[in-house]
Structures are given as C-alpha cells and as structure tokens.
C-alpha cells in the first residue's frame, strides 16, 4: 500500500527534526516483548529482557497498547515541543491526553488483525482515562529506568548525530534530497513524500502542516508514522549508525586515564561498558563491594557514571563524558 504526504512551500519550511524518548520507549518495548528476531539489538535484549520480565513490565499497561506489528497508540508518542524533549515533558503530555484521543486509539488497536485483545486494563483506560494515564506514565518511568536509562548516553549520541548530519544536508542540498534519502520505502516525488508500506499511512488530511522527522535506534528496519490532527505528521525512521550502538567500546586511553583517576576507578569505568550493579562490578573486578561503592560515588559526583534503579538493584552506567575519556 502506498500513501502520499503532499507539501506546500509552507510545509517544507515547517519540516523539522526531533529526538523523542517516547518513540524509543514504544519501539524498544516492541522488540523486547514481541519480536523473537532482535538483530541488531541482541546484546541489549539479552541484558534487558530478563530484567523486564522480573519487574512484570512485559504484562502491564504497555502490553495492552503496543502490538507486535502495525498501529501503535498515538497518544504514546506526543508531538515533541522542541528538538530534544525530555522524557518528563513527554510523560506530562501523555497524562494530559484528551479522553476522546485515548478512546480513538483504543478503537484503532481493536481493529488491528493481530493487535492486543481487549483486556481489563484497556477497559479501565477506556472508562476512566484520566486515572489510567497516570498509571501508564508511572509504568513508562519504571520501564525507562530498567531498559533505556542505563544506555541512553550511547543511544542519544547516535540520534543526535543523525539529526546534526541531516540538518547539515538540508543546508547544503535542500529538504527534498534529505527526504528522499531517509529510508528505502520513502521517496520524494514532485512535491509529495511517498511511503510504500503495508501498515504505514501518512496523508495531509489526517494531520496538520509541516512534518516532524524523528530518528530512532529501535525503529529499524522500517519507518513508523503518526497522524493526529492538528499536530504535524510524524515519521520515525532508522537512525544512521545503529549498528554501532551496542558494539563494545574500546579503551585505548586507559593508561592515561588511570594516571589521573587511579587503576581501580579506571577499571570500573572500563567494566561499565555494560551497565552493572555494585555486586557484579565487585565480582568482575576483584574488589570489595564497599570499595566499589565508594569509587562509584566519586565517579558519579564527577559526572562519569549514572545510577538507575532496576527492581531491588541499582545499575551503574558510563556517561558520554566517560566514553570520551576512554576513547579520545
């Protein structure tokens, strides 16, 4: 099936890019819970899927709203107000979703051939959307802390690099060329952006003016759309360089960093290529748990690691600043 999004000069002028945490939430959840073939994200899935199952997040509110294929509830991906919105701002927009929009999205999900069946949660959402939206936002926060926050520095780096690259391409070659190079199923044809997808629809009469282009690490290998009037249509596409997101980071500068931070703290930073708990780090590095804890506090105060709760554990992850130290 082919759909087309017509453009006026004003629409082209209002075309912009944005990085959306919520698009990464919905697309990553679909991979974790719905898809057996998780390439190129196997390394991430192997780490995160057991944590999601232990937390019961594979059978909660998101399970009722994110089918394996096709339509995704539009209220889960509100229009970003700026190029780099926070998760908190997008959750606030979800909490404010009008009841009519919630019920429309539930109706759309019910029409999906392989969509989630009506269940107690979706019935509560239909009947009392105000209360349910707050619970959904809380669950998304829990999912974020376990599945995405420990990895966000490396995900964000790829997404922002894609935005900056394409913005430069727009300046050098114009919007038409950039639009035609987004994805193999997207082409620019005489003032119309055409999508050839079975489940993808994007037309101007379903949405407002302009176009919002959102790179995604987890959308691969397809493009996804959102059309909710009067918001601008959204097109989420696979970001450039997603194959590098989960590659182990080399640490060629460890000796130089160790001369400043000390061997133990540098060893911990090197080990945190994969988010880990204090106990895991102590085991892998041959240090005491108390010693690891003290080092992590110092590294966190210096902005080199972040901490994220995962059930009863706390996972520590390297920041982008630490990555740059180890990989100048």
CB 20 within 8 A of CB 162: no
Statement: residue 183 has pLDDT above 70: yes
Query: How far is it between the farthest Cα atoms of the chain?
Result: 65
Q: Please give the Cα distance from 53 to 45 (Å, whole number).
A: 12
Quick one: pLDDT at residue 214?
95
Categorize the per-residue pLDDT at 198 as very low, low, confident or very high, splitting at 50, 70 and 90. very low
Closest by CA position to 328, among listed 255, 268, 242, 276: 255
| CATH number for position 295 | 1.10.10.10
Same domain, residue pair 27 and 151: yes
Return the minimum-mean-pLDDT range out of 3-12, 70-79, 82-91, 130-139. Answer: 3-12
pTM: 0.82
Q: Has residue 77 been placed in a domain? A: yes
pLDDT at 285: 83
* Residue 314 and residue 239 in one domain: no
Q: Are residues 25 and 142 in the same domain?
A: yes
Helix (H, G, I), strand (E, B) or coil at 35: coil
If asked whether residues 150 and 275 sit together in one domain, one would say no
**Boundaries of domain holding 55:** 2-243
Shared domain for 6 and 45, answered yes or no, is yes
Domain presence at residue 229 = yes
Which carries the bigger pLDDT value, residue 138 or residue 71?
138
Report the range out of 22-31, 195-204, 307-316 with the highest average pLDDT. 22-31
Within this chain, do residues 67 and 175 fall inside the same structural domain, yes or no? yes
- The predicted-structure confidence for 80-138, as pLDDT tens digits, reads as follows 988 899 999 999 999 999 999 999 999 988 887 555 566 788 889 999 998 999 999 99
* Residues 52 and 182 both lie in one domain: yes
Chain centroid offset of residue 328 CA: 26
Rounded to the nearest 5°, which phi and psi values hold at 233? -65, 150
Phi, psi values for residue 86, rounded to 5°: -90, 160
Last residue within a domain, chosen from 243, 267, 282: 243
Structural domain includes residue 248: no
If one counts the domains in the chain, the total is 2
Residue 271 near residue 306, CB atoms below 8 Å: no
Residues paired with 234 in a beta bridge: 212, 226
Residue 249 lies in a domain: no
pLDDT at 250: 59
Nearest to 139 by CA among 70, 208, 62, 41: 62
Show which of 210, 243, 276 is a domain's final residue: 243
- Given a contact cutoff of 8 angstroms between Cβ atoms, the answer to whether 31 and 45 are in contact is yes
Sheet strand arrangement including 192-196: 2-6, 192-196, 186-189
- pLDDT grade for 13, boundaries at 50, 70 and 90: confident
CA-based nearest residue to 137, from 225, 78, 69: 78
Q: What is the mean pLDDT of the chain?
A: 86
Q: Say yes or no: 33 and 178 in one domain.
A: yes
The answer to whether the beta carbons of residues 263 and 274 sit under 8 Å apart is no
How far is 243 from 71, CA to CA, in rounded Å?
A: 26
Quick one: 292 and 162 in the same domain? Answer: no
CA angle (8 as vertex; 6, 14 as ends), nearest 5: 100
pLDDT of residue 132: 95
Q: Which residue has the higher pLDDT, 22 or 164?
A: 22
Calculate mean pLDDT across residues 194-207: 65
**Rounded CA separation 44/91 (Å):** 24
| Domain annotation covers residue 284 | yes
Alpha carbon separation from 11 to 8, 176, 215, 228, 318 (Å, rounded): 5, 12, 19, 16, 40
Please write the tens of the pLDDT for every residue from 289-313: 899 999 999 999 999 999 988 777 8
Are residues 229 and 199 both part of a single domain?
yes
In a domain, 55, yes or no: yes
Which long-range contacts does 94-103 make (Cβ < 8 Å, 24+ apart)? 94/22, 94/133, 94/136, 94/137, 94/140, 95/133, 95/134, 95/137, 97/129, 97/133, 99/129, 99/130, 101/74, 101/75, 101/228, 102/75, 102/126, 102/129, 102/133, 103/129
Helix runs in 14-128, H state only: 21-29, 42-54, 61-65, 87-95, 99-111, 120-127
In whole angstroms, what is the distance from residue 30 CA to residue 58 CA? 10
Residues 58 and 119 both lie in one domain = yes
**What sign results for the dihedral spanned by CA atoms 100, 141, 77, 2?**
negative
| Judgement on whether residues 222 and 307 belong to the same structural domain of the protein | no
Of the residues 243, 265, 285, which one is the last residue of a structural domain? 243
Residue 309 lies in a domain: yes
Question: Per the domain annotation, does 213 fall within a domain?
Answer: yes
């Amino acid at each position: 099936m082919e759909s087309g999004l017509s453009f006026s000069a004003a629409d082209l002028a209002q075309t912009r890019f944005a990085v959306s945490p919520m698009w990464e939430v919905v697309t990553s959840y679909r991979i974790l819970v719905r898809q057996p073939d998780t390439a190129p994200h196997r390394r991430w899935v192997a780490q995160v899927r057991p944590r999601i199952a232990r937390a019961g997040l594979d059978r909660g509110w998101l399970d009722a709203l994110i089918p394996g294929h096709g339509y995704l509830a539009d209220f889960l991906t509100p229009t970003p107000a700026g190029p780099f919105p926070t998760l908190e701002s997008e959750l606030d927009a979800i909490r404010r979703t009008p009841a009519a929009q919630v019920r429309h999205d539930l109706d759309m999900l019910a029409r999906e051939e392989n969509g989630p069946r009506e269940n107690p949660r979706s019935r509560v959402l239909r009947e009392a959307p105000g209360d349910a939206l707050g619970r959904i936002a809380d669950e998304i926060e829990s999912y974020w802390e376990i599945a995405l926050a420990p990895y966000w520095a490396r995900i964000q780096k790829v997404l922002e690099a894609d935005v900056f690259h394409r913005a430069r391409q727009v300046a050098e070659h114009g919007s038409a060329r950039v639009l035609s190079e987004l994805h193999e199923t997207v082409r620019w044809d005489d003032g119309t952006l055409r999508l050839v997808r079975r489940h993808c629809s994007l037309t101007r009469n379903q949405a407002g003016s302009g176009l919002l282009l959102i790179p995604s690490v987890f959308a691969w290998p397809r493009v996804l759309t959102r059309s909710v009037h009067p918001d601008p249509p959204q097109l989420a596409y696979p970001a450039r360089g997603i194959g590098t997101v989960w590659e182990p980071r080399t640490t060629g500068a460890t000796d130089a960093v160790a001369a400043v931070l000390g061997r133990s703290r540098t060893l911990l930073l090197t080990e945190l290529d994969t988010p880990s708990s204090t106990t895991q780090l102590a085991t892998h590095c041959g240090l005491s748990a108390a010693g690891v804890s003290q080092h992590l506090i110092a590294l966190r105060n210096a902005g080199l690691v972040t901490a994220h709760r995962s059930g009863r554990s706390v996972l520590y992850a390297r920041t982008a600043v630490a990555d740059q130290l180890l990989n100048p």
